[in-house]
Structure formats: structure tokens, C-alpha cells
Structure 1
Amino acid sequence: MAPDEQEKWQIQLRKGALELVILASLRGGAVYGLALLRHLQRFPTTAITEGTLYPLLDRLKRDGLLDANWMQEGEERPRKYYELTAKGKQKLSTLMRAWRQSVTDIESLLATKASAEHINRGD
């Protein structure tokens, strides 16, 4: 796969998994936006920009999956902290099961040496 094709594929994979990745990153408690962004940027497959993160956080909040509250620590300026709601925890659980099933299915397909003839027979 050419580098450009691989990059496009990784972008599509990232887009499909972002909601799961963000919800999973927040399961340990409240996190402010910039800290979440830095955390996601530590991993090549989840590195995103502010322009991607903040609209997604806003949508997840509108969907009732996140709460957001401004908090000030000491003399620092206030930061907006995001945390999972009960609905967000349920959604995370659902997405985790779906992700794990997808990985299992794909791994099975990658390990299988099925021929087209075998597939066409429905075996």
C-alpha cells in the first residue's frame, strides 16, 4: 500500500473509532480538553487536532453522553472538564463490545486462507 493510501485508510479508521476512543479516555474521571487532546496525540492512530476534538466533545455533550463543567484550580485560568454521564458509560460499554467483536471477526478473516470457491459455497 502506498504511503498516501495507507494514510487515507488510517484516517478513515480513526474517524470510525473516535467516539469510542474519547469515551474510553474519559472513563477514569473528568479531564479537561487540552489534556485529553495531548493524551490522544501520544498514540499515532488517535492523534487528532483541536478542530476535530472540540466539535466532537460538543456533540457528545449534546447527545447526553458527557457532562462539561468549568473548574478553576488555584491561580490558573478556568478549564472545561468533561466526564461521562450514565448514558455515556452505557454507550462506552456498547461500543467496547462492538469493537472487540469487530477485532475478533477481522482477526479471524485475516487468519483464514479461504479461497473464493470456499466462500461462494458458503462454508
Structure 2
Amino acid sequence: MTFQLGSALLDACVLAIVEKEDAYGYSLTQQVQTVMDISESTLYPVLRRLQKADYLTTYDQPYQGRNRRYYKITGQGRLRLLELSTEWQQYKAKVDHVLLGGEQNG
């Protein structure tokens, strides 16, 4: 079963992956696909948006005679990831509370 979740969670996943190590588009897609259904054509606009917001930077590196574009997290990207991770934990705790029983208090 796949739950449809918003762009904030997608941003968090991308930023978390590149926080661990720089990554190129295809590898990012493969890693994100382990938690949500996404195509490369969906991911590239997200990468451009994160880059425009100064959460990611890019650099090219030769690979088998071609250049491969790698994405690297910035200091602002790390701060954004922390914000998104905190929001996710709060959201997850509320959902867990409802799914596992008990009353939800605002």
C-alpha cells in the first residue's frame, strides 16, 4: 500500500539522502523509490526547486566519457532538513496516536 504524501516529505527524503553523501539524479530516484512511488521526470523538477532555494548545489564529474551531475546539500539545506524532520516526527506521532488508539488532543 502506498500513501500519497506531500512535497515536503519528498524534499525531506531527498535532503536526507544527499546529507549522507552526494548523489546523482538516477541514484536519488532509486533511493527515494524505496519509500515512495516517484519517477525521474518527477524528481528532477524537485531537485531544481531545492537548488533554486539554495538547499542543494551541483557539480559535474566525468563518468564513462560523460559528465554526471551530482547534488550536494548546503548549510541551508541541512537547516531545512532539520525543520522538515521535526515536522515529520510531530506528524508521525499524531498519526500513530490515532492509528494505535487513543484520543487526539488538537
Q: More helix by proportion, 1 or 2?
A: 1
Give the % identical residues.
Answer: 29
* Residue in structure 2 matching 1:101, options 83, 90, 97: 90
Partner of 2:18: 26
CA distance in 1, matches of 2:65, 2:28: 18
Partner of 1:3: none
Gaps of at least 5 residues in structure 1 are: 1-5
Question: Which structure is larger by alpha-carbon Rg, 1 or 2?
Answer: 1
* Residue in structure 2 matching 1:80, options 62, 69, 79: 69
Matches within 5 A, 1:6-85: 10=3, 12-13=4-5, 15-41=7-33, 43=34, 45-73=35-63, 75-85=64-74
CA shift for structure 1 position 109: 2.1
What are the Cα deviations for residues 43-96 of structure 1, in whole angstroms up to 9, with x where unaligned? 1x32311111101000100000000111114x4311000010000000001111
Q: More strand by proportion, 1 or 2?
A: 2
CA-atom RMSD in angstroms:
2.1
Q: Kindly indicate whether the alpha-carbon contact (under 8 Å) linking 1:69 and 1:80 is maintained by their aligned counterparts in 2.
A: yes
CA distance in 2, matches of 1:46, 1:76: 32
CA distance in 2, matches of 1:18, 1:110: 23
Q: Tell me how many residue pairs correspond in the alignment.
A: 105
TM-score with structure 1 setting the length: 0.75
TM-score with structure 2 setting the length: 0.85
Q: Kindly indicate whether the alpha-carbon contact (under 8 Å) linking 1:31 and 1:83 is maintained by their aligned counterparts in 2.
A: yes
SS in 1 for 2:91: helix
User: Could you list the runs of 4 or more consecutive aligned residues of structure 1 that deviate by over 6 angstroms after TM superposition?
Assistant: none
**Equivalent AA in structure 1 for residue 58 of structure 2:** A
CA distance in 2, matches of 1:104, 1:113: 12
CA distance in 2, matches of 1:33, 1:89: 19
**Equivalent AA in structure 2 for residue 51 of structure 1:** S
